[in-house]
Amino acid sequence: MERIHITDVAPRDGLQNQQVPVSTDAKLQLIRLLAAAGVQSVEATSFVSPKAVPQMADAGDLVPRLHAALPQLRTSVLVPNLKGLERAHAAGAQEIAVVLSATETMNRKNINMGLEQATEVSAQTLAEARRLGLRTRAYVAVAFDCPFEGPTALTAVQASCARMLEAGAGEIVVADTIGSAAPGQVRQRLGALAGTVPIERLAVHFHDTRGMGVANAWAALQAGVRRFDASAGGIGGCPFAPGAAGNVATEDLVLMAEQSGFATGISLPGLLEAIDFAQDQLQRPLGGRAITWLRRQRDKALASTS
Ligand code: COA
Ligand code: ZN
């Protein structure tokens, strides 16, 4: 079976926007459960301003503990600038992701820089990360629509992708930050971007705001993409992008991919344990589109073995 690669972003995209504070111990436990479910790659946290995102203020404590507990796990962290990179490197991070939005206003709202400066800072951060021997990813955010400027020009997305590749990004993550894309648009846009980014270095990051996250992932699969971000339980959303709902749920993506003949290495019952844990922590029901059916399958399996 052909393999797809999933990065679970629940610990970062998922937890950055929660009202309930989550302890470092609980974050660690969530990531342990994800790894136990077979998740091989996570985005663990972000080294951003604690004033901007208080939920990620413990990044410097979390990363060394995570590496000690789960040395085999591929762990990326988001950094918005050189200061973030410096903090991440000091904490022992081995992989970073920069975040460049393809529009002027989204950059200003998210990282307080215009497009030109954000591009420059992201490029410098990537170059410095490479010099330090770190693996690198570059998010190209609002790659379909911007919550402030409307539809994002394809040429703007292509230019951001090209610049991030040139600056040394190992992987380009095309992000539908507000979850507004539909599968036909995904097919078209990824087809066009494949001329700019080698397909094996292209990843996609969908949000499920309009219920099309899994359909969009399928369109990306058909376009040849094999790298996906997703979030266990479907938690997520950028606090600076109004209207963004959670990420496409990892359990939905795994179910869709496995049933369609792709291997993920991830166990659905294992994911359910991680989701149950996150649900206890956040004190609200979590889960993607298939969660009720998945839980019913688990209950049936448990009943038949007891
Ligand atoms: N980590 C921690 N602190 C940081 C930092 C980082 N990566 N970058 C800057 N700071 C600190 C500065 O040291 C300074 O601290 P001081 O007030 O104690 O002197 C303060 O933040 C302001 O620095 P400045 O460079 O002027 O930043 P800013 O106020 O223009 O904010 C960002 C820019 C990028 C730091 C901020 O907008 C941010 O963290 N955004 C993250 C957004 C995010 O996580 N979005 C969701 C994921 S896409
Ligand atoms: Zn996101």
> How far from the centroid of its chain's Cα atoms is residue 20's Cα?
20
Cα 32 to middle of ligand 1, angstroms: 29
> Three-state DSSP class for 280?
helix
Asked if residue 306 has pLDDT above 90, the reply is no
Phi, psi of 178 (to 5 degrees): -105, 0
Q: Is the minimum distance from the CB of 47 to ligand 1 under 6 angstroms?
A: yes
Q: Is the minimum distance from the CB of 144 to ligand 1 under 6 angstroms?
A: no
> What is the tally of structural domains in the chain?
1
Looking at residue 197, what DSSP letter applies? S
Asked if residue 88 has pLDDT above 90, the reply is yes
Which helix or strand (DSSP H or E) is residue 180 part of? none
* Dist. CA 160–CA 163, nearest whole Å: 5
Range of the domain at 183: 5-305
Looking at residue 24, what DSSP letter applies? H
**Amino acid identity for residue 255 in this structure:** L
Cα 81 to middle of ligand 1, angstroms: 8
* Dist. CA 239–CA 235, nearest whole Å: 12
Cα 16 to middle of ligand 2, angstroms: 10
Q: Is the minimum distance from the CB of 59 to ligand 1 under 6 angstroms?
A: no
Q: Is the minimum distance from the CB of 85 to ligand 1 under 6 angstroms?
A: no
Q: Is the minimum distance from the CB of 190 to ligand 1 under 6 angstroms?
A: no
**What is the model's pLDDT at position 289?**
97
Q: Is the minimum distance from the CB of 284 to ligand 1 under 6 angstroms?
A: no
Structure tokens at 40: 């091989």
Nearest CA to ligand 1 atom 11: 49
Cα 112 to middle of ligand 1, angstroms: 8
**Which atom of ligand 1 is nearest the CA belonging to 16?**
46
**What is the model's pLDDT at position 113?**
98
Q: Which residues contact 23 (CB under 8 A, 6 or more apart)?
A: none
Q: Is the minimum distance from the CB of 52 to ligand 1 under 6 angstroms?
A: yes
**Which atom of ligand 1 is nearest the CA belonging to 177?**
48
Closest CA to 168 of 107, 226, 117, 97: 97
The 10 Å CB-count burial string (b at 16+, else e) for 47-70 is bbbeeebebbbbbbebbebbbeeb
pLDDT per residue as tens digits for the range 150-188: 999 999 999 999 999 999 999 999 999 999 999 999 999
CATH code for the domain in which residue 97 is found? 3.20.20.70
Cα 206 to middle of ligand 2, angstroms: 7
Ligand minimally distant from the alpha carbon of residue 56: 1
Cα 303 to middle of ligand 2, angstroms: 37
Asked if residue 94 has pLDDT above 90, the reply is yes
* Dist. CA 141–CA 299, nearest whole Å: 39
Phi, psi of 130 (to 5 degrees): -65, -40
Q: For residues 110 and 241, is the Cβ–Cβ distance under 8 A?
A: yes
Q: How confident is the model at residue 149 (pLDDT cuts 50, 70, 90)?
A: very high
Name the pTM for this structure: 0.97
> What percent of the chain is predicted at pLDDT more than 90?
98
Nearest CA to ligand 1 atom 19: 49
* Dist. CA 269–CA 251, nearest whole Å: 9
Q: Which residues contact 146 (CB under 8 A, 6 or more apart)?
A: 101, 102, 103, 105, 106, 152, 178
Average pLDDT over the chain, rounded to whole? Answer: 97
Nearest CA to ligand 1 atom 15: 49
Question: 92, exposed or middle or buried, with CB in 10 Å at 0-12, 13-18, 19+?
Answer: middle
Nearest CA to ligand 1 atom 40: 111
Asked if residue 93 has pLDDT above 90, the reply is yes
Closest CA to 250 of 3, 7, 35, 26: 7
Q: Which residues are catalytic?
A: 238
* Dist. CA 47–CA 78, nearest whole Å: 6
Nearest CA to ligand 1 atom 34: 111
Mean pLDDT of all residues in 10-14: 97
Mean pLDDT of all residues in 3-28: 96
Q: Is the minimum distance from the CB of 83 to ligand 1 under 6 angstroms?
A: yes
* Dist. CA 122–CA 50, nearest whole Å: 19
Number of C-beta neighbours around residue 210 at 10 A: 15
Q: For residues 157 and 189, is the Cβ–Cβ distance under 8 A?
A: yes
**Which atom of ligand 1 is nearest the CA belonging to 111?**
37
Q: How confident is the model at residue 305 (pLDDT cuts 50, 70, 90)?
A: confident
